[in-house]
Structure 1
């Protein structure tokens, strides 16, 4: 097997890329049309690969493979981030059915209050609607015009929560979920299972299943 030193590169010496003194150049017009150039190209493809080159690429592929393996095996958590009043919250997308525009809420005589808002119809399905802001004892904020509703729960058991703003779905490695601080408000602490960072802000990661269970017991 030839080495790269044994392969002629006459095109760089006397050919189109050199001093153009090759007596075949005028006839061939360009070195690309010359059989010597074609043969050299074939020899380049068949040449012996230097051991240092093989080792370099072996190391590179191994490093990339390790990084990809780490990313693929690391457990991730997908959260929907939203705002209530002046605070940011998140719940797992596994508990999220959908995000919808504000819909009309129908109050129920002698039942509706600041926590249980009433009923709302989502594509013909009548769902219970509650105020998470009231449930978590949060101060209200001025309307931003970006209010939406979260449909949270399971197929058989859903609640609708109006929120002041939705920031979308974000993914976090489980190792980045922080423990709730001790100073967290007592009302929030029972339902906060972790803290995540978003835009240099602390976001309360809520336990949606516990929220639903508590609302069911308290209001139904």
Structure 2
């Protein structure tokens, strides 16, 4: 069996990495261009692999594969996180149709109020618009440059909700979803189905389907 000790590593002794006394340097300029260097590299790659080396990597790869398998089979929940005033909320991306910049809301005579804001046009589609802040009994907040609108529901039944800021999509293992407390300050607990943590802040995970069902019954 050829070992590393059997390889002629003349480049480390008399070559560019050594004292540079090799007679071939004048012709090849660098050891990388020398046939001795190439032959030594070939022998190094073709040498027999020590049995303990194979066993070590077999164990390492098996452990990594097992860890990846455990992570891939763990059930995950994808949520869109957003802010209303000082409160943080989330809904499942399965209920999210789109996030858009604020569009003009057209009030309806004798119908629009603090909860039902009116109608808004999104690329030619007229959608109902409601205030989640009013629905969840939250304090009013000043508008900002981060304002967005969430289009929530299904392709046949959608609502548009203005929000103060969108924090993007985050994925959580189901085991990390905490049960909501008995009393949730300033929000309607009936629509909170869990609590998640983002940047050390508690986020109310809302039941979007229940929320939309309630809006349909109340306003339509």
TM-align CA RMSD:
2.2
Separation in 1 of the partners of 2:179 and 2:91?
15
Task: State yes or no: 1:146 paired with 2:146.
Answer: yes
Separation in 1 of the partners of 2:14 and 2:94?
69
Distance 1:38 1:115, change over 3 A: closer
* Helix, strand or coil at the partner of 1:190: helix
- 1:58 corresponds in structure 2 to 58
Separation in 2 of the partners of 1:30 and 1:112?
82
- 1:200 corresponds in structure 2 to 200
Q: TM-score, normalised by structure 2?
A: 0.89
In the TM superposition, residue 58 of structure 1 has moved relative to its aligned partner by 1.8
| Uncovered stretches (5+) of structure 2, i.e. residues with no partner | none
Distance 1:181 1:34, change over 3 A: same
**Count of residues in Structure 1 that have an aligned counterpart in Structure 2:** 220
1:24-58 deviation per Cα after TM superposition (whole angstroms, max 9, x unaligned): 55565554444433332221111111222222222
* Helix, strand or coil at the partner of 2:188: helix
Separation in 1 of the partners of 2:25 and 2:117?
88
* Helix, strand or coil at the partner of 2:43: helix
| 1:35-184 correspondence runs (5 A) | 35-184=35-184
Distance 1:16 1:100, change over 3 A: closer
In the TM superposition, residue 101 of structure 1 has moved relative to its aligned partner by 1.5
Separation in 2 of the partners of 1:32 and 1:120?
69
Q: TM-score, normalised by structure 1?
A: 0.89
In the TM superposition, residue 97 of structure 1 has moved relative to its aligned partner by 0.8
Separation in 2 of the partners of 1:175 and 1:24?
66
Greater alpha carbon shift after TM alignment, 205-214 vs 28-37? 28-37
Separation in 2 of the partners of 1:28 and 1:102?
68
